[in-house]
């Protein structure tokens, strides 16, 4: 079982997707995302397997939640720096978003 202290180690922030494009070199269908996580963290890259529910052009300007303190991970020729969060739903991965507009970089608390 995880304990509360394990959860507290995660740095989960709000970020706004500024750019999204297809990622044909990924083993599983994915997009390359560039997410603005506020002035403290900046723009970070992420590989996201969210192609079932979203088109790249629909992602621009959308705020999402992401873990920003995992080590970077090489996915094909792309360095994924953050983990954008979503739920594994019947229709595919659905992004977790704030229910209203907030500041980029705001921390989940």
Q: What is the pLDDT along the chain (109 residues), one digit of tens a residue?
A: 999 999 999 999 999 999 999 999 999 999 999 999 999 999 999 999 999 999 999 999 999 999 999 999 999 999 999 999 999 999 999 999 999 999 999 999 8
Say how far apart CA 59 and CA 17 lie, in whole Å. Answer: 6
The domains located in the chain, with CATH, are: 15-95 (2.40.50.140)
Q: Which of 61, 70, 63, 64 is nearest to 87 (CA)?
A: 64
**Which of 27, 24, 20 is closest to 46 using CA atoms?**
20
Residue 57 parent element (H or E): helix 56-59
R_g of the chain computed on alpha carbons: 14
Contact in structure between 72 and 79 (CB atoms under 8 Å): yes
Question: pTM score, two decimals?
Answer: 0.95
């Amino acid at each position: 079982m995880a304990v509360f202290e394990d959860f507290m180690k995660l740095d989960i922030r709000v970020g706004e997707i500024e750019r999204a494009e297809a990622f044909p070199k990924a083993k599983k269908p994915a997009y390359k995302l560039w997410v603005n996580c506020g002035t403290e963290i900046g723009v970070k890259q992420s590989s996201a397997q969210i192609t079932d529910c979203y088109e790249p052009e629909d992602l621009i300007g959308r705020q999402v939640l992401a873990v920003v303190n995992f080590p970077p991970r090489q996915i094909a020729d792309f360095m994924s720096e953050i983990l954008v969060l979503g739920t594994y739903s019947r229709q595919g991965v659905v992004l977790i978003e704030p229910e209203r507009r907030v500041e980029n970089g705001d921390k989940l608390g």
